[in-house]
Structure 1
Amino acid sequence: MGYHTIIDIFQVLSLSRSRCKLLLFCTMLCFWGYLLYSQFGDRFYAHTVTRLSQRIISDNHISRGLLHEKNDMDNAGEDLEEVAGDVQDDEVDPDLSQDRFRRRFPQAIIIGVKKGGTRALLEYLRLHPDIVATGAEPQFFNRNYNKGLEWYRHLMPKSLENQLTIEKTPAYFITKEVPARIYAMSQSTKLIVVVRHPTTRAISDYSQALEKKPTIASFETLAFKNRSAGVVDSDWIAVQIGFYAQHLVNWIQYFPFKQLLVVNGDRLITNPAAELGRVQDFLGLRKLITEKNFFFDTEKGFYCIKKTEEDYKIPHCLGKTKGRAHPDVDPEALQQLNKFYEPYNRIFYEMVGEDFGWD
């Protein structure tokens, strides 16, 4: 619109000369303001967003770098089976618009098994910049489902759009209702289950219980209904968890095998880099966690994390409850338990297409 046109309009409206000048001045001021915004506004906005994103990513890397300081809290999830407390309202930063940085439902869940190596796997995955993970186990789909999905989402750490949120609750694998509940939340959820030799896993489970309550009966007493006849007590939960094939059937009714990865927990101990390579491929992540991120601690007897190649002086190992010594168990009882598990193991091998060599 030209200057003369604007003046003509004012004259038509029979405005006074002074009011006409005032309106003309205001109109031109808005016009020039619009030109300045068009020229520089987008550049300023882009610069601000870039600076803000860099600060968010930097903060996330710093928090992941403090892994070794959070072991006590994280161990409480599996060892003490603590459930996260009341959820705080999600505080929204007005500068972080367009859902760039917020709490999201997990795209991947470590569903089991207890004493299989789930804590180790989660701590290793935290090294990856594209992963954010919960601390304590949410225990949502098995214990807190009545609290609702929004309660669950608020337990998740905040993440950027290109990051993957992951949680772990080993009890999910053996709880019949959980597969349907996760499926109802998201049909595309990726599932990870870490398994070990079922007899070794049962002894590890017993060791944890023994540490909490030294007066409990011996492993042999709990594992067998009739020790002399070799009759195993399949009602004991430590034995039941080792029926991997039986539990897996519940999951494949809802999720295809392509969405489920079985991690070899024994190999995770002896060669963590190889198993982490498989996990990163499964999750569609860049292979950033390699053998350079691990070193064997001869004192502890297992691999520890190093964030960089030069990170030898500051070890990042799992908590003191990990790698605890197992009690002595009668070799004959071990042989009987191994034989008991053989048919279950063979079915499991066929289901997942891998022989774990437990027999």
Structure 2
Amino acid sequence: MILLFMYLFYTLAGFSESFPKGTFDQQTSVRKYDAQDNIQDSVRLSEYSRVAQPLRNRTDFVTSLSSVSPKFAWQMGHPQQQMLGSAGTGETVSRGGIPVSNSFGSKTFPQAIIIGVKKGGTRALLEFLRVHPDVRAVGAEPHFFDRFYDRGLEWYRNLMPRTLEGQVTMEKTPSYFVTKEAPLRLCAMNCDTKLIVVVRDPVTRAVSDYTQTLSKNPGLPSFQSLAFRNSSSLDTIDTSWSAVRIGLYAQHLEGWLRHFPLSHFLFVSGERLVADPAGEMGRVQDFLGLKRIVGDKHFYFNQTKGFPCLKKPEGSGRPRCLGKSKGRHHPLIPPEALQKLRDFYRPFNQKFYHMSGQDFGWD
């Protein structure tokens, strides 16, 4: 009997050694999936590896895997394990036959929002930020705090991408900055939200705004007929026109400062974002509490568009530039009309410099 017992013991022990290990449930420190999420949005591993691929050989990236889903960390550590077919809703099967979930992390309200301004460089900033492995952002503009507030916070939260602990959830909607109700609504969600405002010379911004509208509506009246109440004398600026009104940065900022302290804002120069994208991105990463990963090596200047573009990531086919709607050639505007606008904006610019603590040099 003793010999039989020993035989069975060693046989079972050998069998357990050959059985596939429960790799994914051995790490107890890994954060759990958000069980309250009733909307299952599958997040492909390739989205994360798009930016994480160049970091795989770095020790700090390997260390960071300890805080992610063990299923995700295992796949990132074993790139040869490709997802091959379905194992049910939300699962795929690896080469080893082990089910792997393609959803990870949880949905949270954004910790940082790019709130403005239109035609200031917000799309460029968001695309540059998305290179960072610790930034997850909504691609389309949610417009929650200006257009869809009645749909409720849960609707808004479900628009967000899933994030892991230590990652920053972001969105950008430039019209928030000029929407009177937005500051109170956003503070009602979280008064600790970090706010990024991309600003640009208001005269150049107005012309760019007009150019965009003109591309969609070729029959639009001339710039000066919209910017001035009397286009022949150019005597009175028409601040009811949105292209002019958006550039009154000081007035819009006053509404936000009633609900958020100045320390919660970062004002990004649209001009410096073009001239020195790495330098301006360094300030943004510091403000968000992120390691400075996005830098000079990620950018090159596209002479055709007149904007910096992202160099192609390792394994990608081509560089990433902003769409054809960016970098349009502006129509010719009479110099006297532009000078009248500069004179009009000057006191507002000076006030904005004082309020923000930055001189943007537009004057």
Distance 1:329 1:313 in 2: 39
Q: Are 1:249 and 2:236 an aligned pair?
A: no
Distance 2:239 2:195 in 1: 26
**Match among 288, 293, 296 for residue 291 of structure 1:** 296
Distance 2:46 2:112 in 1: 23
Where does 1:116-265 land on structure 2 (aligned, <5 Å)?
116-227=120-231, 228-265=233-270
What runs of 5+ residues in structure 2 fail to find an aligned partner? 1-15, 34-42, 54-88, 92-98
TM-score after normalising by structure 1: 0.75
Q: Are 1:45 and 2:32 an aligned pair?
A: no
Show CA shifts across 1:187-237 (max 9, x none): 210000000000000000000000000001000100001231521111111
Q: CA deviation at 1:103?
A: 1.4
Instruction: Give the match's secondary structure for 1:142.
Output: coil
Show CA shifts across 1:93-112 (max 9, x none): 8987xx96121110000000
Give the residue type in structure 2 aligned to 1:299. Answer: T
Q: CA deviation at 1:43?
A: 7.5
Contact 2:312–2:318 under 8 Å retained in 1: no
TM-score after normalising by structure 2: 0.74
Q: CA deviation at 1:60?
A: 3.5
Show CA shifts across 1:241-274 (max 9, x none): 0000000001111111111100001111111111
Show CA shifts across 1:14-67 (max 9, x none): xxxxxxxxxxxxxxxxxxxxxx9xxxx9987226998x99xx89533245589x
Give the residue type in structure 2 aligned to 1:212. Answer: K
2:10 aligns with: none
What runs of 5+ residues in structure 1 fail to find an aligned partner? 1-35, 67-90
Equivalent pairs: percent with the same residue? 54
2:349 aligns with: 345
1:61 aligns with: 48
2:282 aligns with: 277
Contact 2:191–2:260 under 8 Å retained in 1: yes
Instruction: Give the match's secondary structure for 2:266.
Output: strand
Give the residue type in structure 2 aligned to 1:61. Answer: Y
More helix by share: 1
Distance 1:240 1:313 in 2: 42
Distance 1:44 1:312 in 2: 30
Could you say which structure has the larger radius of gyration? 1
Instruction: Give the match's secondary structure for 2:205.
Output: helix
Where does 1:71-150 land on structure 2 (aligned, <5 Å)?
101-150=105-154
**Matched residue pairs, number?**
293
Distance 1:243 1:148 in 2: 30
Show CA shifts across 1:159-206 (max 9, x none): 112211100000100001111111111121000000000000000000
Contact 1:306–1:312 under 8 Å retained in 2: no
Instruction: Give the match's secondary structure for 2:47.
Output: helix
